[in-house]
């Protein structure tokens, strides 16, 4: 598709897949560890195990986005579609998180696909999305490794 953007971030962690998945599903805690998120909550709760069909409301500064959970299987897979405000330069945004079992923990593989609303900005937007998710996935891994409080 014209204007298509895709990026994938991989990060190893000593945390087991269940711990990573639980943290990812604990939306109310996102602002404690996820870069750029100032508040998050379930606007519409989904299925208990996977959040399927649930809608998250995520605040990043003054902007609010909504994420609908469209797939997943505890504790290894989570997929969502993100609705961005019209003034954002991105559209058709989907995220796919895979948490693979590894001998010393797990591997987080977070893939994002979207499209640019503005022709000619693909390279810049891809770089921005990639760097954002490098930070998010590293923060997810680091937080999942922390001992329970």
Among the listed residues 65, 74, 63, 58, the one whose alpha carbon sits nearest the alpha carbon of residue 25: 74
Helix (H, G, I), strand (E, B) or coil at 103: coil
Among the listed residues 40, 35, 45, 89, the one whose alpha carbon sits nearest the alpha carbon of residue 65: 40
Where does the chain have alpha helices with state H? Answer: 17-25, 30-33, 122-145
Taking the mean position of all CA atoms in its chain, how far away is CA 12? Answer: 16
What does the pLDDT read at residue 148? 67
Q: Does the domain at residues 4-145 carry the CATH identifier 3.40.50.150?
A: no
Token pair of 106 as six digits = 């797990």
What does the pLDDT read at residue 1? 45
Q: Profile the chain (149 residues) by mean pLDDT over runs of 10 residues.
A: 84 97 97 96 94 96 95 97 93 97 96 94 94 97 87
End-to-end CA distance of the chain: 46
- Quickly tell me which residue has 């290894």 as its tokens: 76
What does the pLDDT read at residue 147? 83
- The pTM of the full predicted model, rounded to 2 decimals, is 0.94
What does the pLDDT read at residue 149? 56
Interatomic CA distance for residues 24 and 54, integer angstroms = 14
Interatomic CA distance for residues 112 and 130, integer angstroms = 9
């Amino acid at each position: 598709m014209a204007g298509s953007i895709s990026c994938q971030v991989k990060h190893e962690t000593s945390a087991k897949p269940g711990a990573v998945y639980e943290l990812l599903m604990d939306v109310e805690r996102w602002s404690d560890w996820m870069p750029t998120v100032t508040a998050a909550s379930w606007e519409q709760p989904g299925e208990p195990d996977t959040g399927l069909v649930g809608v998250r409301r995520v605040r990043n500064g003054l902007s609010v986005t909504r994420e609908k959970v469209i797939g997943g299987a505890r504790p290894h897979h989570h997929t969502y579609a993100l609705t961005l405000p019209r003034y954002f330069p991105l559209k058709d945004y989907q995220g796919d998180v895979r948490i693979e079992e590894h001998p010393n923990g797990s591997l987080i593989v977070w893939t994002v696909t979207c499209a640019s609303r503005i022709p000619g900005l693909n390279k810049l937007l891809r770089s921005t999305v990639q760097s954002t998710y490098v930070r998010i996935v590293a923060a997810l891994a680091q937080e999942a490794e922390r001992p329970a409080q």
